[in-house]
Amino acid sequence: MMKFDDLLVAVGEFGPYQKRVYFLLCLPAILCGAQVLSAVFIMAIPDYRCKIPAFANDTFQIQSQTHADLANFSLPRASSTGIGGSTSQPAFSQCLVYTDVSRPAQGEGEDHGFSAEGLAKWRATASYNTTTTETGRKLNRPRETRQCDAWVYDRSEFDSTAITEFDVVCEDTIMRSICNSFMFAGALVGAVGMGVVADVCGRKRAIMLSLLAQFLTSLGVFLTPSFPVMIALKTLSGIATHSLFSVGATMGIELVGPNKRSFTGMVVEFFWAGGILMVLPIAFVSRNWRYTQMVICLLTVPLFALW
């Protein structure tokens, strides 16, 4: 009895029909590559520091000498060592503020501006223990610090990332690594588990199911209200992404003759790389993590029409 591979050799290992179908099978790899690299931009951590207490219009970039005085008055400096052990000018602390500077009685949203008059008004309303601080300075005692609960971010590269929107900084920075770890744990589940589903339900149904899951999880990430929810959705997205890639790549290899399978197995990776490269201009133009995620989500829609 003639085997299936022998039949493919007889009728053509990589004919026009196989090339067209193989091309369609490679297109989801673009989406998969884009989804994986998008985490680099969506969860980018820009430079940041603690927000000056009581100043609602504080910005990361120093706007004036008065603004600089406020920052020096409110925020400790982080230690910094230059090349060869030389000490360079340290940046402001990212996680600490002085305890003798707190919010004024009028509330956190009070905004006095960065003028000299604003500085005087802020010092008059802020909880600033002058006697203790001045005594501390005379005795050469360091001012006490506490963890800050608000931050300002450098927005020269990104208008917004998930990190800046949900304030996943300081002791919460590990949540970013947890999110990536869970996403790739989901990828492992998807790569292994969807193979079983494809054998039971069929390759095409498995691809359509993966595309639907990819769309829904991407849309969920775009609409996510908190970072823990985002971790859960990125885990499901990892399952969908690698399910889609593994089923599509396997179906493409099965479609061609034995002498062309190494070639088709390599070509699909170029589509994956193309998806990675495609994220760069998207993130550069949008500079907002939700817009970047939405564009990647919408890339799924044409693939439904093709299949």
- Each residue of 122-150: pLDDT tens digit? 555 554 444 444 444 443 456 688 888 88
How much is the pLDDT for 136? 42
- Output DSSP code: residue 127: -
pLDDT digits (tens, 9 = 90+) for 41-92: 999 999 998 888 877 788 888 888 878 878 888 888 876 443 344 344 568 8
Among candidates 35, 31, 26, which has minimal Cα distance to 186?
35
Q: Would you state the CATH architecture of domain 4-44+171-306?
A: Up-down Bundle (1.20)
For the ranges 2-11, 30-39, 113-122, the maximum mean pLDDT occurs at 30-39
How much is the pLDDT for 43? 94
More confident residue, 58 or 293: 293
More confident residue, 217 or 100: 217
pLDDT digits (tens, 9 = 90+) for 181-211: 999 999 999 888 888 888 888 888 888 898 9
How much is the pLDDT for 141? 55
> Which residues of the chain are in CATH 1.20.1250.20 domains?
4-44+171-306
How much is the pLDDT for 117? 60
Average pLDDT for 24-43: 90
In this structure, the dihedral spanned by the alpha carbons of residues 176, 181, 183 and 188, taken in order and rounded to 10 degrees, is 170
Q: Are 242 and 29 in contact (CB under 8 A)?
A: no
How much is the pLDDT for 58? 85
CA 238 from centre of chain: 14
Strand pairing partners for 50? 151
More confident residue, 253 or 289: 289
- Output DSSP code: residue 86: P
For residue 7, pLDDT over 80 is answered with no
How much is the pLDDT for 160? 92
Element (H, E) at 147: strand 145-147
pLDDT digits (tens, 9 = 90+) for 161-184: 999 999 999 889 999 999 999 999
pLDDT digits (tens, 9 = 90+) for 213-249: 999 999 999 999 999 999 999 999 999 998 888 888 8
Question: Could you tell me the two tokens for 106?
Answer: 């009028």
Residues 6 or more apart whose Cβ sits within 8 Å of residue 154: 46, 47, 48, 60, 61
pLDDT digits (tens, 9 = 90+) for 250-280: 888 888 888 888 888 889 999 999 999 999 9
What does the alpha-carbon distance between residue 24 and residue 31 come to, in Å, rounded to a whole number?
12
pLDDT band at 106 (very low <50, low <70, confident <90, very high): very low
